Amino acid sequence: MSYQVAVLAGDGIGPEVMVEARKVLKAVEERFSLDIEYSEYDVGGAAIDKHGCPLPESTLKGCEAADAILFGSVGGPKWEHLPPNDQPERGALLPLRGHFELFCNMRPAKLHGGLEHMSPLRSDISAQGFDVLCVRELTGGIYFGKPKGRQGEGEQEEAFDTMRYSRREVRRIAKIAFEAAQGRRKKVTSVDKANVLACSVLWREVVEEVAKEFPDVELEHIYIDNATMQLLRRPFDFDVMLCSNLFGDIISDEIAMLTGSMGLLSSVSLNSEGFGLYEPAGGSAPDIAGQGIANPIAQILSAALLLRHSLKEEAAAKAIEDAVAKALSDGYLTGELLSADQRDKAKSTREMGDYIAQAV
């Protein structure tokens, strides 16, 4: 059996961390005799420079022919002056999500033992650790709802966006959250603003219905404003957080920052056929691009998630995750994870990739 993977390395540190992810993938392919074919396509700022748009037709076609997309990161100061719609992040990510109906986004954020000092939280809070999975609806809500636009003139000119959710859309993402919770600590916290939004009232109704099918999973509801607060005081009380598109954007970034080590976090965006886009949480980090110091772990873990969710190669996925865990527990770390006085022990992007590939 042969798999096709579309590789969209993108901008900033994207290409350099992708090299290491490919290295680790090669190692698992050998160990587990997998046959994966890779095709590289331009995306983001790189695609703007070469083709005039962040998501060229050729890239979209290449992704359509693949079983999954391994995504790097896009964006940078060079393209920031462009109108919002043409910018790399918005112009590449949103159409990809929409085109492939990648409605399910999962962003795990775990505070690794030994890396508590990276968390911006007070030491007595971070000492308790946390492991939160944000399950975010990714193709609905105010991101894609119509109408969206402008009307009127002068000071009366107004802009409008529509938040919109159907029962069907809420149900399918809620199910995934409950299924995920069954394999974890069996708790779903649904984040909404039901005291203000009609969409949230519907959201709550459907989530309650779905909960009945999962009697072993505890369900609680929390308002987005309160969720933002409680995560700061007691992140360890949360297991799976189920969010609409906009609230998931906020919560997933908050929990990522609470770990203090974004270079370790990856995410998956799936459609109902298991086709998915896999990407690091951290962004293109143009400030450190090209210096060989970026942490490739998030990209490497994206590859593991790709093996698990789209290719159903669980053993290979696990092998990568174990190798990453070994690197971390061996104290084999890039500079941003080390305190100032330990900085001379920092490993380069390439050294990290080599070590993890080796461990596989």
Ligand X SMILES: CC(C)[C@H](C(=O)O)[C@@H](O)C(=O)O
Query: Which one, of 71, 16, 75, lies nearest residue 46 by Cα?
Result: 75
Closer residue to ligand X, CB minimum distance, 44 or 235: 44
Per the annotation, the verdict on 225 as an active-site residue is: yes
How far is 133 from 39, CA to CA, in rounded Å? 30
Per the annotation, the verdict on 354 as an active-site residue is: no
Is 294 known to sit in a ligand binding site?
Answer: yes
Query: Which one, of 275, 326, 330, 268, lies nearest residue 299 by Cα?
Result: 268
Query: Which one, of 102, 14, 89, 6, lies nearest residue 48 by Cα?
Result: 89
Per the annotation, the verdict on 212 as an active-site residue is: no
Q: Return the H-helix or E-strand segment holding 46.
A: helix 45-51
Is 154 known to sit in a ligand binding site?
Answer: no
**Residue 211 engages its own copies in binding (rule: CB under 8 A):** no
CA atoms within 13 A on the CB side of 73: 24
**Residue 338 engages its own copies in binding (rule: CB under 8 A):** no
Output the CA angle 310-98-158, nearest 5 degrees: 150
Q: Which residue has the tokens 């939280």?
A: 121
The residue whose Cβ lies closest to ligand X is 89
**Residue 77 engages its own copies in binding (rule: CB under 8 A):** no
Is 80 known to sit in a ligand binding site?
Answer: yes
**Residue 193 engages its own copies in binding (rule: CB under 8 A):** yes
CB 240 within 8 A of CB 181: yes
Q: Which of 121, 243, 268, 320: binder of its own copies (CB under 8 A)?
A: 121
Which of ligand X, its own copies, none does residue 110 bind to, with CB < 5 to 8 Å depending on kind? none
**Residue 42 engages its own copies in binding (rule: CB under 8 A):** no
Q: Return the H-helix or E-strand segment holding 94.
A: helix 94-99
Amino acid found at 332:
Y
Per the annotation, the verdict on 253 as an active-site residue is: yes
Which of its own copies, ligand X, none does residue 238 bind to, with CB < 5 to 8 Å depending on kind? none
Closer residue to its own copies, CB minimum distance, 99 or 184: 99
How far is 44 from 188, CA to CA, in rounded Å? 35
**Can you give the binding site for ligand X, defined by CB under 6 A?**
89-90, 93-94, 195-196, 225, 249
- Catalytic: which of 225, 312, 330, 345? 225
Supply the minimum distance, in Å, between the C-beta of residue 147 and ligand X: 19
State both tokens at 300: 């490497």
How far is 295 from 286, CA to CA, in rounded Å? 13
Per the annotation, the verdict on 193 as an active-site residue is: yes
State both tokens at 331: 């104290």
Is 176 known to sit in a ligand binding site?
Answer: no
Supply the minimum distance, in Å, between the C-beta of residue 28 and its own copies: 32
- Would you name the residues annotated as active-site residues? 143, 193, 225, 249, 253
Annotated binding-site residues for NAD(+) read: 76-89, 283-295
* Interacting residues with its own copies (CB under 8 A): 84, 87, 89-90, 94, 119-123, 125-126, 142-143, 145, 148-150, 152, 154-168, 171, 193-199, 201-203, 224-226, 228-229, 232-233, 246, 249-250, 252-254, 256-258
